Amino acid sequence: MKYVLAPLAGFTDAPFRRLCRDGGADLAYTEMVSAAAIAHGHAATRQLLETLPGEGPLACQIFGATESDVACAARFVSSWPVPWAALDLNAGCPMQKVTRAGAGAKLVEDPEKIHRLLAAMAENTALPVTLKTRLGPHPRQTNIFEILDAAERAGAAGITVHARYTSQLHGGETHLDTLAEVVRRAKIPVTGNGSVKDAASAAAMAATGVSAVMIGRAALANPYIFAALKGAPVRRTPDEMFRAHLDYILDYRPELAVLKLRTHLFRYFSGRPGAAALRARLNGVKSLAELAAWTGPNPLDAPTGDVI
Ligand SMILES: Cc1cc2nc3c(=O)[nH]c(=O)nc-3n(C[C@H](O)[C@H](O)[C@H](O)COP(=O)(O)O)c2cc1C
C-alpha cells in the first residue's frame, strides 16, 4: 500500500514534508495554493511552492473557482522549477473564505464545474491532473459518482476521496462503504482519506480497495506513522522528532524558525508530563541563537519512543 501525506494548510511545508518522508510517506502535497493569487502574481504565494533540495514525489494543490484562474495557475506551476508529481484541484475545503469565493467544497455541489476546471487545468499543463474531493455536500446528496465521472471525462489521472460530506467538516464517521463503491466504479486510481490513525483504521481503509491511503492529522502528531503502518517502524522519541524537525526548519528558512517553532514543534509533547512547561519555554524563544542552543525538551519524563 502507498501512504500519502495529506495537504494541510499551515502545516505541510517543506521541512514537515521532509520529516514525513523520513517517516515513510510515499507522496506529499503542498499546502493548498490559491489559483487567483497565482494568477495575480502575489509574491507570498510563491513561498507555498518552495521545496527543499531532493524532495521526493510532491503534488501541487491549487484551489480556484474560475477556469481562467486555474488555467493560469496550471501554466505557472508547470513552469516552476520543481518536478511535480501532479497538479491537484481542491474540491473539499469547507472554510468559508474558500467556499464563499466558489472554490473548495463549494465545487462538490457542482460536478460539471469540477469537470470544466479540471479540463482547463489539463489544457494548460503536461502534468497529471488530479482531484481531491468529498462524497457530497451532505448525506442526502451523494455527488461523488457524478464527480468521479466528471473527473474521468476531463482526463484526471487520479482522485482522492475524503470519505465524508462537507456538512461533516473534519469529524463524524467516515463512509467507507460509499468509498468502496467509488473504487468499484472508478477507471482511475482512487486514494482514500479520512481519520486513518492506526493499523486498524488503515486496514479498514485499505479494505475498500483504494490504491493509496492519505493521512493528515495523525501525521501531525506522528510524522513517522507511515513507516509504522508499512510494518517497518522508525523508532524516534518525541525529543528526537523535535530535534530533526527543528534541524529541517533551520535548513529551510532560518528566518522563519522562531515562528514555525510555535506552530509545529510543541505538538510532539502534548499530553505528556511537563508539556505545559515545555510550551512556555518554546513560546519564550525569541531568537535563532536561542534555538541553535536548544538542548532538548528536558522538562519531560523519559518518552517511550512508541510510534503508534
Ligand atoms: C489544519 C488542516 C488543514 C487542511 N488543509 C487542507 C488543504 O490545504 N487542502 C486539502 O485538500 N485538504 C486540507 N485539509 C483536509 C485534509 O487534507 C484531510 O482531508 C482531512 O484532514 C481528513 O484526513 P485526516 O483525518 O487524515 O486528517 C486540511 C485539514 C486540516 C485539519
Distance 8 CA to ligand 1 centre (A): 5
DSSP label at residue 287: S
pTM of the model: 0.94
Answer yes or no: are the C-beta atoms of 150 and 136 closer than 8 Å. Answer: no
Distance 12 CA to ligand 1 centre (A): 10
* Residue 149: pLDDT over 60: yes
Please state the rounded mean pLDDT for residues 286-296.
Answer: 74
Q: Which atom of ligand 1 is nearest to the CA of 6?
A: 17
**pLDDT for 11 beyond 90:** yes
Mean pLDDT lowest among 109-113, 231-235, 282-286, 293-297: 293-297
Mean pLDDT of the region 239-243? 83
User: What is the CA(13)–ligand 1 centre distance, in A?
Assistant: 13
Poorest-confidence range of 22-31, 178-187, 228-237, 269-278? 269-278
**DSSP assignment string, 20-35:** HHHTT-SBEEPPPEEH
Distance of CA 31 from the midpoint of ligand 1 (Å): 9
Residues of the chain with pLDDT > 90, as a percent, come to 71
Q: Which of 97, 106, 170 to mutate to test the pocket of ligand 1 (most atoms within 8 A of CB)?
A: 170
CB of 217 sitting under 6 A from ligand 1: yes
Asked whether 104 lines ligand 1 (CB < 6 A), one says no
Residue of 5, 8, 166, 193 best suited for mutating to test ligand 1, as the one with most atoms within 8 Å of CB = 8
- Look at residue 301 in the predicted model and tell me its pLDDT: 39
- Average pLDDT (234-239) is 83
Residue 306 has pLDDT above 50, yes or no: no
For residues 196 and 170, the answer to whether their CB atoms sit within 8 Å is: no
SS3 193: strand
The pLDDT-based confidence of 226 (bands split at 50, 70, 90) is very high
Structural domains of the chain ordered from first start: 2-229 (3.20.20.70), 238-292 (no CATH)
72 is catalytic: no
List of residues 6+ apart from 87 with CB closer than 8 A: 59, 60, 62, 74, 77, 78, 121, 125, 127, 128, 129, 130
Q: Give the model's confidence band at 214: pLDDT under 50 very low, under 70 low, under 90 confident, else very high.
A: very high
Ligand 1 atom at minimum distance from 92 CA: 11
Phi-psi region at 305: left, alpha or beta (left = phi > 0; alpha = psi -120 to 50): left
| Residue 260, pLDDT above cutoff 90 | no
d(CA 290, CA 62): 36
Per-residue pLDDT at 278: 77
Quote the pLDDT of residue 216.
97
What is the pLDDT, as a whole number, of residue 177? 98
Task: Report pLDDT digits (tens) over 64-78.
Answer: 999 999 999 999 999
Residue 70: HSE in the Cβ half-sphere, 13 Å Cα cutoff: 31
Mean residue pLDDT across the chain = 91
Nearest CA owner, ligand 1 atom 22: 194
What pLDDT is recorded for position 305? 38
Q: How far is the CA of 217 from the centre of ligand 1 (A)?
A: 7
Three-state SS at 28:
strand
pLDDT band for position 30 (50/70/90)?
A: very high
Spacing, Cα 151 to ligand 1 middle (Å)? 20
For residue 107, the model assigns a pLDDT of: 98
Mutate which of 4, 12, 133, 217 for ligand 1? The one with the most ligand atoms within 8 Å of its CB, which is 217
Percent of the chain with pLDDT over 70: 95
Residue 132: CB within 6 Å of ligand 1?
yes
Model confidence band, residue 5 (pLDDT cutoffs 50, 70, 90): very high
pLDDT tens, 34-64?
A: 999 998 888 888 889 999 988 999 999 999 9
Catalytic residue among 20, 60, 72, 93: 93
- Residue 159, pLDDT > 90, answer yes
The response to whether residue 195 sits with its C-beta less than 6 Å from ligand 1 reads yes
